[in-house]
């Protein structure tokens, strides 16, 4: 099991993302986008393609856009090919924004992009912990998970989806994660439970196969128990909720 973790141009969560994969049993490598463009065939060596969080191109022209355009220009076919195989792709935070801008999720009309990531309703950057519930557990990434406590850290985390598309997204069960409130009910847009005002409290989308997951919260930052706020009150567990996502990837190939 090999994971390729993308880096370059302001992506910045590659170390902790790779670490999370390694702990659950993957072998992995951080690969700079320019090296991948030079030698796209190396993708064949990997079963998981991960685009970590960060600030690629400083969010200029919209978060994830510039990097998506770089991939579109240089690597698009290879990535589509990867997504059509029995392989997994995950985009976390900026990685999520990149996948959305590439149209790899929800990928219903095969026309890019179908969804936009826009600025948080609060107008400010939000770094805080949220609860999300799993909506679509047919995705290998999300199997057998019900609720996750994870941090978000973004300025543009609001999913903007045209009404018709939203209908088909729901019909196809492509909403991966949704923000919930302190009573475990959908946040209904209420801040801070829904940190960005995303419609239908969407925190993650998948493609139809479920093998491509674009999520705004950061599982790699909720990997160990001591990542979780106020962990001192509960030191019995070794891992935080983010661990489950990476374990699911392992189970998929096991």
Partner 1 sequence: MTNTIQILSIEKTGKESSLQKEHNNKSIKIIDGYFFSRNLDDQKFTKISKLISNDVSQTILTKKNVNKVLSSYSNFNWVVEIKFLPGVTDNIATTVKEIINDNLKSSFKSFELGSTKIILIKGRKEDITKISKNEANPLIQTIKIYPFKQYLNNFKKNQFKIERVKLPKKKYSKKEINLDISDYNLSLIGKLGIEENDKSRRGTLGLDLESLKTIRNYFSTIKRKPTDVEIETLAQTWSEHCKHKIFSAKIDDIQEGIFKKYIKGATEKIIQLRKDNFCVSLFTDNAGGIEFNKEWIICHKVETHNTPSALDPFGGAITGIVGVNRDCLGFGKGAKPIANTYAYYLADPNKKYQLYRQKNKDPMLPANFIAKGIISGVRVGGNCSGIPTPQGNVYFDDRFAGKPLVFCGTVGIIPKKIKGKLSHKKKANPGDIILMAGGRVGKDGIHGATFSSEELDPNSPVSAVQIGDPITQKKMSDVIIRELRDENLYSSITDNGAGGLSSSIGEMAKESGGFIVNLEKVPLKYNGLYPWEIWVSESQERMTLAVPPANVKKVIKRFNARGVEATIIGKFIKKDKAIVKYNKTEILNLDMEFLHEGYPKLNLKTSFPKIKKEKKKIIKKSSLIDKLHKLLSSPNIVSKEFIATQYDHEVQATSIIKPLQGEGRVFGNATAIKPLFDDEKSIALSQAAYPQYAETNPYDMAGCSIDTAYKNLIVSGANSKKIAILDNFCWCSSDEPDRLYQLKEAAKACYDYAVAYQTPFISGKDSMFNDFKGFDKTGKSVKISIPPTLLISSIGVVDKISHLTKMTSDDGDILLVLGNTRNELQDSVYSKIIGYEKSKNPVVYSKDALRTYRNFEKANKLGIINSAIGIDLGGIGIAVTKMAIASKKGLTIDLKLKNKISVDQFLFSESQSRILVSIKKNKLANFKKVFKGSDYTIIGKCTGSDVVKFKDNKKIIRGKISDFAKSYKQNIKGL
Question: Would you tell me which residues interact with partner 1 (CB under 8 A)?
Answer: 7-10, 12-13, 15-16, 19, 32, 34-35, 53-55, 57-62, 65-66, 69-70, 72-74, 101, 113-116, 118-128, 151, 153, 155, 160-162, 218, 220-221, 223, 226-227, 229-230, 232-233
Q: How far apart are CA 138 and CA 134, in angstroms?
A: 10
Query: 213, 100 in Cβ contact below 8 A?
Result: no
List CB contacts of 176: < 8 A, sequence separation 6 or more.
Answer: 134, 135, 136, 139, 141, 142, 203, 204, 205, 206, 213, 214, 215
CA 136 to mean position of chain CA atoms: 14
Residue matched to tokens 């990531």? 117
Token representation of residue 92:
């976390």
Instruction: Find the shortest distance in angstroms from Cβ 7 to partner 1.
Output: 7
Instruction: Find the shortest distance in angstroms from Cβ 137 to partner 1.
Output: 25
Residue matched to tokens 């409290």? 201
Instruction: Find the shortest distance in angstroms from Cβ 69 to partner 1.
Output: 5
Quick one: 69 or 143, whose CB is closer to partner 1?
Answer: 69
Quick one: 43 or 115, whose CB is closer to partner 1?
Answer: 115
Quick one: 218 or 244, whose CB is closer to partner 1?
Answer: 218
Query: 33, 66 in Cβ contact below 8 A?
Result: no
Quick one: 120 or 206, whose CB is closer to partner 1?
Answer: 120
Instruction: Find the shortest distance in angstroms from Cβ 85 to partner 1.
Output: 27
Catalytic residue list:
93, 218, 220
Quick one: 25 or 35, whose CB is closer to partner 1?
Answer: 35
E strands of the chain, at which residues? 2-7, 27-32, 48-51, 88-92, 116-118, 126-134, 147-154, 158-160, 175-180, 202-206, 212-215
Instruction: Find the shortest distance in angstroms from Cβ 134 to partner 1.
Output: 21
């Amino acid at each position: 099991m090999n994971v390729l973790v993308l880096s370059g141009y302001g992506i910045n969560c590659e170390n902790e993302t790779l670490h999370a994969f390694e702990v659950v049993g993957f072998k992995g490598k951080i690969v700079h986008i320019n090296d991948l463009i030079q030698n796209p065939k190396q993708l064949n060596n990997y079963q998981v393609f991960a685009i970590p969080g960060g600030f690629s191109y400083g969010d200029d022209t919209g978060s994830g856009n510039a990097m998506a355009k770089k991939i579109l220009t240089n690597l698009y076919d290879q990535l589509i090919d990867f997504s059509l195989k029995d392989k997994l792709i995950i985009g976390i935070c900026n990685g999520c924004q990149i996948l959305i801008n590439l149209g790899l999720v929800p990928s219903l009309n095969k026309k890019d992009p179908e969804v936009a990531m826009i600025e948080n309703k609060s107008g400010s950057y939000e770094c805080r912990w949220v609860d999300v519930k799993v909506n679509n557990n047919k995705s290998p990434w999300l199997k057998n998970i019900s609720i996750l406590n994870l941090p978000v850290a973004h300025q543009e985390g609001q999913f903007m989806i045209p009404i018709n598309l939203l209908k088909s997204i729901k019909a196809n069960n492509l909403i991966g994660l949704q923000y919930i409130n302190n009573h475990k009910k959908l946040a209904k847009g209420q801040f801070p439970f829904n940190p960005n005002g995303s419609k239908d409290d969407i925190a993650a989308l998948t493609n139809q196969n479920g093998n491509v997951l674009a999520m705004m919260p950061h599982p790699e930052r909720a990997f160990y128990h001591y990542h979780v706020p106020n962990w001192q009150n509960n030191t019995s567990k070794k891992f935080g909720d983010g661990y489950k996502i990476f374990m699911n990837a392992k189970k998929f190939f096991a």
